Amino acid sequence: MTGAPRMARRKLDWALAGGVCAFLLASAGLSAPAAAGTLQIDPVRLEIGKARKTASLTVRNVEDAPVTIQAHALGWSQQDGGDTYQESAAVIVSPPIFTVPPGGTQIVRVGLRNPAASEGAYRLIVEEVPEAAVGTGVRVALRLDIPLYAGLQPGKPGELAWSVWRDAQRGWIAEAANRGSGYVRVEPEELGAAVGLRLSGVTFGTVLPGSRRRWMLGERIEIADQARFESLRLPEKSGQNTGVSGTK
């Protein structure tokens, strides 16, 4: 396949890859690679610290054409229950831009410029450098978002303080406040058990140390543990200045 038909197929591959990889990154474990029609990424979570100064990511191109990729890091924090990202020069990414040949691989290494002063949470952004558009087709570039923890250890679910309330404008909301010094990943079933609800359609989330994370549950909820739910329930809020930014 050559010319415009080949480019149209690649456009579709990248569009599908973006959605598939986003789902895989959200659901995969620490060491399981994320795979899509165009790229394979392994691992899907990076950690560096005193014993491990750098981390590496393997990017494999399973397409039959070369792919140019750029990578950079953003600072990651949580405010008002939502994730926020900031430009940061604290993380060194090498190489920051590269081309992976068909069937080839590239190792990307990350480290801190000043390990003593840069501990915290980051997101490693791995994205395609778009090619020039052909014809009138829509070009969708792949962008992956990988958590990078520098000097942070996994925390315990027991370090989360939960609350749940109904917002007059946004429906039911669950919030976890992390009182510990490590990051805590919360799976959907753990979220439901924590607040006494049967949930569907919610995604996992990570609560950073000293931060709060909110989940939007919708207008209708199903209570599984009445006593647990009532012990965490707060009075209804008006929806003003709640800072709810949705889920990630």
- Contact yes or no for 87/72 (Cβ under 8 A): no
What are the two backbone dihedrals, phi and then psi, of residue 195, each rounded to the nearest 5 degrees?
Answer: -110, 5
Residue range(s) of every CATH 2.60.40.10 domain in the chain: 3-150
Residue 246 in this model has a pLDDT that exceeds 50: no
Q: What is the pLDDT of residues 18-72, one digit of tens each?
A: 433 443 344 334 444 554 447 889 999 999 988 889 999 999 998 899 999 999 9
- What pLDDT is attached to residue 241? 40
How high is the pLDDT of residue 141?
74
The residue among 171, 210, 172, 209 whose CA lies nearest residue 191 is 172
CATH 2.60.40.10 fits 3-150, yes or no: yes
**pLDDT of 17 strictly over 80:** no
